[in-house]
Amino acid sequence: QSPLGSFLSGVRQRYPFIQLAGHKGDFISGQGGIIYKKSSVLEKAALESLMSDVLKPMVPLYFKAVQIEDSQGSKAEYLEMQDLLGNFTDPSVMDIKLGVRTFLESEVIKTTRRPDLLQKMMKLDPDEPTEEEKEHGITKLRYMMFRERLSSTNTLGLRVEAVKKAHEPPRNDFQRVKLRSEVFRVIESFFPPRDTEPELHDRVKRRILDRLEAMRDKLPVSSFFKCHELIGSSLLFIYDSTGKAGVWMIDFGKTSRVDKEIHHDLPWKLGSQEDGYLIGLDNIITMIGDC
């Protein structure tokens, strides 16, 4: 029995909700193509302003914030939005995180040296820390930058978070997928196989590329995009065996308004607030084109 069982009692879903990333408790699937995501200040503000921006067709429709009470009687705010899986049957789903950086500058401004982060780094690569760092520990910035170098985030401006193919269990073991050729193989394997299902392959790829190109055209003229840094935001790719396919921008939990204009196609330097969103988008468009 879920803690939100009372809220959901009598509600039956036609199809199961597939959640690839994030904390399991943060989503509740509703009825009629609606889901609820645990609210945060940044994501609520972002979705609100996206509903009156040219990017509206590229994101899940956002309806409102609602208070939901669990069985213990404590209330939390959730964001009611469109369930993008709603129109699909047994979908294949892929979450790709865009951008050359996945942490906020505000998360890494502390210069405290942390022995716990040194230990985590040593576990991943005992030769990474210098002798001086082994003695004094490492900052959060050093740790985050090290982690991002393991994946394709810095180099390609994107990383594969998770993939769920129809009738297969989800996979999220892509932390060390870094080379362009490795990323390409994962992306290629998400699409219907060209040799056994050539028509479906072409149809799905064409629809997805059309959507990505429409997105690429809208982003530079979006007033939302001009004044927000998009950190940890994903593209959610969905298709099913009927050839229905789409891709949407999701996850604005670390998307925030900034005072200056962001270019989105530059590498990041501490203080620049650049996110490299378009670097990742351009790379994904090229890679899918080559699939």
Rounded least distance, CB 33 to ligand ATP, Å: 9
Q: What is the C-alpha end-to-end distance of the chain, expressed in Å?
A: 43
Rounded least distance, CB 63 to ligand ATP, Å: 11
Is 12 exposed, middle or buried (CB count within 10 Å of its CB: 0-12, 13-18, 19+)? exposed
Rounded least distance, CB 22 to Mg ion, Å: 5
Q: Produce one character per residue of 158-191: b if its CB has 16 or more CB atoms within 10 Å, e if not.
A: bbbbbbbbeeeeeeeebeebbeeeebbebbeebb
Tokens of 62: 């956002």
Each residue 87-116 as x (binds ligand ATP by CB under 6 A) or -, in order, gives: ------x-x---------------------
Binds Mg ion (CB under 5 A): choice among 8, 20, 21, 108: 21
| C-alpha distances in Å from residue 138, one per residue of 129, 131, 149, 176, 202 | 8, 11, 16, 21, 48
Rounded least distance, CB 27 to ligand ATP, Å: 6
Rule CB under 6 A: is residue 246 a binding residue for ligand ATP? no
For ligand ATP, give the closer residue by CB, 250 or 262: 250
Rule CB under 6 A: is residue 170 a binding residue for ligand ATP? no
Binds ligand ATP (CB under 6 A): choice among 92, 153, 155, 234: 234
In terms of DSSP bridges, do strands 158-164 and 75-82 run parallel, antiparallel, or are they unpaired?
unpaired
Rule CB under 6 A: is residue 79 a binding residue for ligand ATP? no
Rule CB under 5 A: is residue 251 a binding residue for Mg ion? yes
